[in-house]
Amino acid sequence: MSSSLGDVLATLQLQRVAPTVFVGQQLPAPANHILGGHISAQALLAAGQTTPDRAPHSAHTYFLKPGDSRLPVEFEVTELQEGRAFSARRVSARQNGQLLLEAMSSFKIADAGPAQVGYQPPFPEVPPPESLPWVPSHFAESGEAAEEHWASLRWFERRIVDAEQSPPAQSRIWWRPDGDVPGDPALTATLVAYLSAVTLTEPVYAARGSARGSAQRDHSVWFHAPAVLPDWLLYEQSSPSSAGSLALATGTMFNRDGGLVCTVRQEMYFRPTASVPTATIRP
């Protein structure tokens, strides 16, 4: 199956229609659904365009409506802070006047002076990605779900180190872009945020035993160090908690040399199976 990396990179070239307003094209998808990882990546990129001299420090996104992938999305950036060390931005994503997403992003200047005290989780002892077999980029691209192909999921390749089915459904994967990527730090961070949201759904689905009636509710990522792309990155994932209609997933991502790249949290919503009128549910 051919890579869609070129198409994804094209949609990350946002059109600036005003100093703080950007427009982004979407990618084809089943039921014309906009993928959460894709639109949140565009939101982070839009915010970064308004503070180009600072690197992403964190991003926190709420997904409010699904949107239509056949139509472009408008991203309006609001300046919340412009301090000596940090910049903060709010991004509101709209389509036909409907609010699809609200995101808060923080950006930071590079640290100056002597290195500060640092620590991180240990790098797992895992086999190298070259020793592991090819697998589809996402479960939706597997043979069992061939009718659910997502063009927005075929831009990376991965290798599975291990994966548990029972809670907390811990898994470890290697991943990298499936093709050449520009050496742009902002784009690199955007691709990391994109991937971090896409595959973090899988431990939740494994732990709960189903993906039906689910939706991403919110997603948060904290950046610790730049990712080294296009080399492989290791992503540890799990779903430590599920209560009622909500399930939490967590992840940590490392460069191949063991350096910690980011920490991720994401919550999934599962529509109740009881006879509740569909119109009353707000995913």
109-118: long-range contacts at Cβ-Cβ below 8 A with a sequence spacing of 24 or more?
A: 109/53, 109/54, 109/84, 109/85, 110/55
pLDDT band at 24 (very low <50, low <70, confident <90, very high): very high
What is the pLDDT of the chain when averaged over all its residues? 90
pLDDT digit string, tens, across residues 92-138: 999 999 999 999 999 999 887 666 778 999 999 999 999 999 987 76
Least confident among 21-35, 57-71, 165-179, 218-232: 21-35
Smallest CA-to-CA distance from 26 within 12, 5, 46, 44 is with 12
Q: Rounded to two decimals, what is the model's pTM?
A: 0.90
d(CA 89, CA 81): 7
Residue with tokens 């902002």: 186
Least confident among 25-34, 51-60, 81-90, 113-122: 113-122
Tokens standing for 63? 């997904």
| Residue burial 219-232, b: 16+ Cβ < 10 Å; e: rest | bbbebeeebebbeb
82 DSSP assignment: E
In order of their start, the domains of the chain are: 5-110+130-280 (2.40.160.210)
Smallest CA-to-CA distance from 100 within 58, 78, 68, 77 is with 68
Least confident among 30-44, 207-221, 268-282: 268-282
Smallest CA-to-CA distance from 22 within 94, 89, 70 is with 94
Average pLDDT over residues 25-54: 93
pLDDT of residue 276: 40
pLDDT reading at 74 higher than 70 = yes
d(CA 221, CA 98): 25
pLDDT band at 172 (very low <50, low <70, confident <90, very high): very high
pLDDT of residue 150: 66
Distance of CA 29 to the CA centre of its chain: 17
d(CA 34, CA 67): 6
pLDDT band at 72 (very low <50, low <70, confident <90, very high): very high
